[in-house]
Amino acid sequence: MLSELAPIIAGERAALAAGCHERSLSIPHLQVMTILDAAGPMPMGHLAEQLGSTLPTLTGLVNRMEQRGLVTRTHDQADRRVVTVQLTPTGAIQLRDLTGLRHQRLARAVALLSESEQRELVSAFRNLRTAFDQANHQGAPE
């Protein structure tokens, strides 16, 4: 069954990579922007942990992102060693544009299904979301 989803996932991953390339964004840029969009501003050390990266590697990445206006960095007033990274409005727009492209692709594909197939798909996705919630709650492997 999962083999049926693999070509869809691969195609969407390729489309996302193409959208990033068109905007001169790397996948690590996208990961940083996605994390900051979901969690809000965070210290560089915490962001590095979230990415499974080292602080020096993240510093270089954030430097390039800051030069492009995608993120900003601020020093904590209480502890100047703590540097917080935040997504800028420009970064949020870039992320929203990429998300919009993904939604458009999905909408076009779903529109090709009959009404009954669309209802079945919605039902299946609701069941899958419930199963993910249960698996994640139980600490099961993803």
**The pLDDT of residue 114:** 96
Report which of 117, 59, 109 is spatially closest to residue 83, judged by C-alpha positions: 59
pTM: 0.80
8-state DSSP, 15 = H
CB atoms within 10 A of CB 62: 22
pLDDT at site 5: 86
Please say whether the beta carbons of 3 and 96 come within 8 A: no
Cα–Cα distance, 56 to 46 (Å, whole number): 13
Q: Measured between alpha carbons, how far is 61 from 36 in angstroms, rounded to an integer? A: 14
What is the Cα–Cα distance from 44 to 115, expressed in whole angstroms?
A: 47
Spatial strand order of the sheet with 83-87 comes to 42-43, 83-87, 71-75
Give pLDDT tens digits for 47-96: 999 999 999 999 999 999 999 999 999 998 888 888 999 999 999 999 99
pLDDT in tens, 10-27: 999 999 999 999 999 999
